[in-house]
A = this chain, B = another copy of it.
Amino acid sequence: MERILTKELHSHLNQSATLKGWVDVRRDHGKLMFVDLRDRSGTVQLVILPAHEEAYKAAQDIRAEWVIEIEGEVHARPEHMKNEKEDNGDVEIEVTALSVVSAAETLPFERNTEVNLDTLLDYRPLTLRNDRERRIFKVQSEIVNAYRDALRKRDFIEFQAPKIVGGDAEGGAHVFKIEYLNDKTAYLATSPQLYKQVMVGVYERVYSIGDVFRAEKHSTTRHLNEYTSLDAEMGFICDHTDIMDLLSDVLRDIISELKKSTKEVFDDFGVSLPKCPEKFPHMKLKEAQELIYKETKEDCRDEKDLAPEHERWLSEYAKKEYDSDFIFITHFPREKTAFYAYDDPEDEGYTKYFDLLFRGVELCSGGQRMHEYQKLKEKMVWKGLDPEKFEFYLQAFKYGMPPHGGWGMGLERLTQKFLNLENVKEATLFPREINRIDARLSESE
């Protein structure tokens, strides 16, 4: 008989069915045995009676996480046994045959046990089977889908950005070195930025979804050494506000798709889907600093960036004043932004750059980019970079580039903040960090 899924049981009431899956829980009541069977679509309660001798015998051995195949009759449960809170809580299967597909050793802890972060990651192949973890990464996969759909419908083309790069594009220090072929040194890309810009010259509108790498040693709740970046770049813009509008629309689309696909996960996690006003509020860094000073008496007006506590304060302010979970902070100083950030001629010393804050953290950064060949080269020199090392990239500008801009947004942080998880690593399948690449590094060497 062909396998059916637990989610299909209602169309097989009072019929025989074959199911396959994992033993979620096994409860031995002596005369009869209950087993919750789990497959990719949900769970169902199996009833195993001594009357079905072979099945009953086979069921003696099975334990949690064993993989089994069963045949049985699908029944509606008696009224008083129905449980609305349970998946398939109104049906059960009387098992007539049971075979073990694959045994499991005794678990270090039961499925769905709450453990600390280190244990969660030490046992990742097992803890990913928890309801909570399965839901987190289901949401993550839906975010990726919705992101892609939002851009595709706006005429964006997907491309694959290389991860091995010849130089450290941004001129920063936090880059991983690779032993490339023939004793050459290469690096791991910290972003697909330069390639996105090249691709604007080809298709005007492009996006890419892929891993980027930061060789930073900090161990915080919001940093990773490898993460998935949701990138986009668009040509023929007026300025950075076109990019901010597009990003707002894309986020709105993602949220509305999540409402359709995984609303119940948000309910289970006790978090509400983000609030988006008609237009996301925005202010310049200087204005934000003045506001913080006025309202809190804390003086950060000479700072070139926002401190984490100010990001949190501004997020709360946006929520209170605009009923928005999002707020854009624009115009950061030239010294603090990358060489490709567009200098605002009307605000000397500042660039048409933005950070998007969401529930207290920077969710995304972006802005308009330099597109004039000569000015771009001058900016590089001003930044202490050697334009000759960027000759390949600079071709895009030498041979005609429209005004353009875009953003980069970390998928894991987006997932974390949407689901209100404490640590970004909870939203990362296999986090790379200072002390861990799957196994803990100190132990594995």
Contacts and interface: CB of A to CB of B under 8 A. Distances in A.
A128 interface: yes
A441 B182 contact: yes
Nearest to A391: B439
A219 B115 CA distance: 49
B145 A158 contact: yes
Interface string A65-86: 1110000000000000000000
B400 A125 contact: no
B211 A162 contact: yes
Interface SS, A side: mixed
A126 B395 contact: yes
Interface in A188-211: 188, 195, 198-199, 201-205, 210-211
A102 B159 contact: no
A199 B401 CA distance: 43
Contacts of A399: 65, 104-105, 107, 125-126, 129
Interface in A30-89: 39-40, 65-67
Interface string A198-228: 1101111100001101010100000001101
Interface in A369-399: 371-373, 389, 391-393, 395-396, 398-399
A401 B371 contact: no
A155 interface: yes
A128 B204 contact: no
A176 B176 contact: no
Contacts of A133: 202
A137 B201 CA distance: 14
A308 B22 CA distance: 43
Interface of A: 3, 20, 22-23, 39-40, 65-67, 101-105, 107, 123-126, 128-129, 133-134, 137-138, 140-141, 144-145, 148, 152, 155, 157-166, 176-182, 184, 186, 188, 195, 198-199, 201-205, 210-211, 213, 215, 217, 225-226, 228, 236, 371-373, 389, 391-393, 395-396, 398-403, 411, 429-430, 432, 434, 437-439, 441, 444-445
19 contacts: A40-B205, A103-B373, A126-B395, A128-B199, A138-B157, A140-B159, A145-B152, A145-B158, A160-B228, A161-B429, A163-B163, A164-B432, A165-B438, A178-B178, A181-B215, A182-B441, A184-B441, A195-B429, A393-B438
